[in-house]
């Protein structure tokens, strides 16, 4: 009875804290400007099913794709077991779903195989990160916390899966001894091999079974509450993020309507732009100038670095790293969120996304080649943010590299990015 | 001379009360860059050879605004776009072919919202169509037979607009040995010129992007690298030169390859 009470309290508490943190992240994402990503629902569902649910883009790199698939399937499917654990915890029952008979055996059997696959995959992931040192997992922006964060997540998953298997093994042994309520249910294709290593005393076995049960469920609840503080949010946000994907061709950049109104007014003096009270800022100086989708992108990023590994600027040693663009955007959004929460409204902190987080050198190294956008397994778009920051630098501050300003001047004066006269444009027709 | 190119302008056609079926958007590189001019003339040879009623804007053409837009100057981009749209709509242009993937992308994706609605195709798509229709057919004794050819995907044709097949289909018609680069199609590596980079010095780093790309090209030892973008052409050509491989590797545009294979330049 006391156990049920403690369980109910922990369960409710963890849901409460998680929803509190989730709300904060939702508010941070809503700091962004409006953008319409609610059209074409059927295409959006299809994109989400293929990219997030079906992991389509992960398979550009086959080894991590397979390892990740195991962990992903394990996570999704073993969560069915979580339902049983929660019901057992709340009502003091034991293996409540066991009435399913043969199907229950099948379920537990598959959970066991998956748990083993998750455990081994996470081990390989740890090796790839810390021993083999896969290149894209060693970049400078991952120093300190991001690397620790990643390792913590992997170690936690290994511990959770070990506890799950150990619990089953103890359960099975108790079943074999015909101990109390341990009826003979379930099939244990993996944990049966642990039996010889377990003690024979039923009371010790019972202790092991119970502590593993508690460790597993408490670990899962703790993990849930760790998510909002970690890079691991992608397990939830990958789904909305792919649903709200950009469905246009990758090459298409938005046309700024604020600019359209001004240009129309310049070309046609009789044109009066629609009145607007909003202060217009061209491009983005800070996270509030980006769209909510840019910020959702930032919170979805799990720092895998496929973007950076494919970025031509990064490959050739430039400072730009698309992953860092996303991490910086997320960190700044979190900082602004804290600021608002603390002060009841945003109080100027003399910081901005540009300069304090993302340098001009990074911005101007981008070739807008869309490799980062193409590679992202969850359709994050770092290029969009880079372009918005460039727009701010150019249109609000007139701060572009000199040669870029010269190019602007040439287009304005001669209609070509180079210094050639417009009248010479068709001279090539004179030669054969 | 039969193969001498005569390039009509939209203004000349209008004076005769005609409109072109397709407008050839030459682009700034195609107009002014000497290497790209050769590609431009080859496209005219193809258009003329198959008897398409086409025209160029000539001195009325102006930069699409792509480099300005990608460098953050939306004002300049929209000024350029609106002026160009006025010109194009004035000539009642319905269909555009262009040799530059950057122009292609901007005209196709970014002009419609500003009032410029055209069917826009890239010259590799036009050539593929002409091959499919039987209007272009490589000569029996053409120079590319059995040659080892690779193709470099321009970002703004490939990833940006997912045109991967058309240029490859053209090369497949040559009876040559096609080899893919390690990073190709959607995984293609940029030449280093996009996003305004063509007009500035690169930021400091270990090496230039076109060198990274050309090293990958050299690895597979092709005799010809096919390009489909005037900026890529410049970057690849410079890369080959810096690596002193000019005698072994030739950089040719798909249009140039087509003209040669069809004996249109003789």
Ordered structural domains, chain B, with CATH: 10-128 (3.40.50), 138-261 (3.40.50)
Q: Residue A101: is its pLDDT beyond 90?
A: no
- Is the Cβ–Cβ distance between B112 and B39 less than 8 Å? no
Domain that holds residue A199: 2-30+61-231
Residue B177 token pair: 């040995």
In-domain check, residue A223: yes
**Closest-CA residue in chain B for A364?**
B203
Copy the structure tokens of residue B210.
């076109």
Eight-class DSSP state of B98: E
State the DSSP code for A419.
S
CATH code, domain carrying A304: 1.10.1060
Query: How much is the pLDDT for B1?
Result: 44
Distance from CA of A318 to the nearest CA of B (A): 4
Q: pLDDT band at residue A341, thresholds of 50, 70 and 90?
A: very high
Residue A167 included in any domain: yes
Question: If we measure between CA atoms, which residue out of A375, A342, A431 comes closest to residue A51?
Answer: A375
Counted domains in chain A: 2
pTM: 0.95
pLDDT computed for residue B76 by the predictor: 97
Regarding whether A265 and A165 lie in a shared domain, the answer is: no
> Does residue A368 lie within any of the structural domains?
yes
Chain A residues near residue B211 by CB distance under 8 angstroms? 316
Q: Assess whether A288 and A364 both reside in one domain.
A: yes
Cβ <8 Å between A369 and B206: no
Residues A17 and A162 in one domain: yes
Q: Which residues pair with B148 in a beta bridge?
A: B177
Give tens-digit pLDDT for A122-153.
999 999 999 999 999 999 999 999 999 999 99
Neighbours of A368 (CB within 10 A): 26
**A205 and A268 together in one domain:** no
Altogether, the residues listed in chain B come to a count of: 266
Identify whether residues A201 and A141 lie together within a single domain: yes
Spatial distance between the Cα atoms of A370 and A373, rounded to a whole number of angstroms: 5
**CA A202 distance to own-chain centroid:** 44
A284, A389: one domain: yes
Does A409 reside within a domain? no
Looking at the fold, whether A13 and A119 belong to one and the same domain comes out as yes
Pairing of strands B250-253, B54-55: unpaired
DSSP state of A353: I
Could you tell me if A287 and A337 lie in one domain?
yes
In what order do the strands lie in the sheet containing B224-227?
B177-179, B148-151, B224-227, B250-253
Look up residue A331 and give its two tokens: 């960190």
Shortest Cα distance from B158 to chain A (angstroms)?
A: 9
**Chain-chain contact of A411 with B4 (C-beta, under 8 angstroms):** no
**How close A330 comes to chain B (CA, Å)?**
22
Residues on chain A touching B206 (C-beta within 8 angstroms) = 316-317
Q: What is the pLDDT of residues A38-58, one digit of tens each?
A: 999 999 999 999 999 999 999
End-to-end Cα, chain B, rounded Å: 10
Are residue A192 and residue A93 in the same domain, yes or no?
yes
Cα maximum dimension of chain A: 99
Same domain as A219, residue A72: yes
- Radius of gyration of chain B measured on its C-alpha atoms: 18
Contact between chains at B190 and A369 (C-beta distance less than 8 A): yes
Residues written for chain A: 432
Q: Is residue A428 part of a domain?
A: no
Whether residue A279 lies inside any domain: the answer is yes
Q: Which residue of B has its CA nearest to A250?
A: B160
- Confidence check: pLDDT of A184 > 90: no
A408-418 b/e (C-beta count within 10 Å ≥ 16 → b): bebbeebbbbb
Tell me, letter by letter, the H, E, C secondary structure of A364-417.
HCCCCCCHHHHHCCCCCCHHHHHHHHHHHHHHHCCCCCHHHHHHHHHHHHHCCC
For CA atoms A350, A352, A355, A357, the dihedral sign is positive
pLDDT tens, per residue, chain B with 266 residues: 456 789 999 999 999 999 999 999 999 999 999 999 999 999 999 999 999 999 999 999 999 999 999 999 999 999 999 999 999 999 999 999 999 999 999 999 999 999 999 999 999 999 999 999 999 999 998 999 999 999 999 999 999 999 999 999 999 999 999 999 999 999 999 999 999 999 999 999 999 999 999 999 999 999 999 999 999 999 999 999 999 999 999 999 999 999 999 999 86
Q: Which helix (DSSP H) or strand (DSSP E) does residue A190 occupy?
A: none
> What is the C-alpha to C-alpha distance for residues A309 and A307, in angstroms, rounded to an integer?
5
The answer to whether A379 and A246 are in contact (CB under 8 A) is: yes
Same domain, A136 and A275: no
In this structure, are A19 and A147 located in the same domain? yes
């Amino acid at each position: 009875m006391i156990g049920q009470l403690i369980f109910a309290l922990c369960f409710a508490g963890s849901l409460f804290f998680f929803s509190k943190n989730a709300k904060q992240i939702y508010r941070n994402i809503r700091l962004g400007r409006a953008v319409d990503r609610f059209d074409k629902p059927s295409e959006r569902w299809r994109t989400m099913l293929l990219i997030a649910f079906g992991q389509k883009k992960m398979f550009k790199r086959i080894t991590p794709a397979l390892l990740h698939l195991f962990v992903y399937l394990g996570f999704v499917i073993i969560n069915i077991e979580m339902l049983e654990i929660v019901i057992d915890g709340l009502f003091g029952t034991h293996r409540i779903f066991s009435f399913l008979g043969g199907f229950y055996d099948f379920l537990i059997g598959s959970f066991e195989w998956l748990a083993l696959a998750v455990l081994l995959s996470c081990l390989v992931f740890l090796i790839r990160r810390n021993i083999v040192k896969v290149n894209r997992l060693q970049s400078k922006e991952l120093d300190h916390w991001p690397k620790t964060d990643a390792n913590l997540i992997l170690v936690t998953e290994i511990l959770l899966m070990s506890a799950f298997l150990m619990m089953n093994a103890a359960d099975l042994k108790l079943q074999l001894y015909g101990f109390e309520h341990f009826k003979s249910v379930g099939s244990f294709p993996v944990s049966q091999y642990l039996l010889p290593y377990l003690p024979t005393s039923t009371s010790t076995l019972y202790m092991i079974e119970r502590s593993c049960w508690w460790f597993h469920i408490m670990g899962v609840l703790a993990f849930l509450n760790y998510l909002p503080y970690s890079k691991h949010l992608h397990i939830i946000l990958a789904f909305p993020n792919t649903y709200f994907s950009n469905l246009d061709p990758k090459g298409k950049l938005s046309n700024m309507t604020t600019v359209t109104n001004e240009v129309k007014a310049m070309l046609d003096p009789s044109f009066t732009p629609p009145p607007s009270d909003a202060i217009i800022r061209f491009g983005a100086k800070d996270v509030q100038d980006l769209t909510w989708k840019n910020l959702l992108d930032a919170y979805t990023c799990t720092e895998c670095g496929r973007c950076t590994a494919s970025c031509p600027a990064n490959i050739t040693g430039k400072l730009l790293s698309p992953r860092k663009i996303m991490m910086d955007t997320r960190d700044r959004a979190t900082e602004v969120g804290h600021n608002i929460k603390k002060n009841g409204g945003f109080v100027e902190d003399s910081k901005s996304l540009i300069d304090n987080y993302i340098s001009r050198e990074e911005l101007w190294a981008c070739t807008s080649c869309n490799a980062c956008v193409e590679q992202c397994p969850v359709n994050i778009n770092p290029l969009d943010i880079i372009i918005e920051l460039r727009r701010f630098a150019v249109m609000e501050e007139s701060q572009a590299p000199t040669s870029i300003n010269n190019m602007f001047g040439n287009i304005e004066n001669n209609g070509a990015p180079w210094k050639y006269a417009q009248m010479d444009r068709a001279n090539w027709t004179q030669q054969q | 001379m039969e193969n001498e190119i005569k390039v009509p302008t939209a203004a000349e056609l209008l004076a005769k009360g005609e409109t072109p079926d397709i407008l050839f958007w030459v682009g700034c590189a195609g107009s002014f860059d000497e290497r790209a001019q050769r590609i431009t003339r080859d496209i005219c040879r193809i258009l003329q050879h198959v008897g398409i009623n086409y025209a160029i804007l000539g001195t009325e053409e102006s930069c699409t605004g792509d480099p300005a837009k990608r460098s953050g100057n939306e004002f300049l981009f929209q000024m350029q776009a609106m002026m160009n749209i006025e010109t194009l709509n004035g000539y009642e242009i319905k269909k555009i072919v262009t040799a530059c993937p950057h122009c292609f992308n901007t005209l196709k994706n970014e002009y419609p919202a500003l009032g410029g609605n055209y069917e826009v195709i890239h010259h590799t798509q036009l050539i593929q169509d002409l091959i499919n229709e039987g209007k272009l057919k490589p000569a029996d004794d053409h120079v590319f037979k059995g040659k080892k050819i690779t193709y470099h995907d321009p970002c703004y044709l490939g990833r940006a607009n997912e045109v991967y097949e058309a240029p490859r289909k053209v090369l497949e018609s040559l009876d040559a040995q096609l080899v893919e680069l390690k990073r190709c199609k959607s995984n293609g590596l940029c030449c280093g010129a996009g996003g305004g980079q063509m007009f500035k010095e690169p930021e400091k780093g270990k090496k230039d992007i076109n060198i990274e790309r050309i090293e990958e090209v050299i690895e597979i030892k092709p005799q010809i690298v096919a390009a489909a973008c005037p900026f890529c052409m410049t970057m690849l050509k410079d890369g080959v030169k810096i690596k002193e491989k000019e005698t072994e590797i030739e950089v040719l545009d798909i249009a140039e390859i087509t003209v040669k294979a069809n004996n249109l330049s003789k």
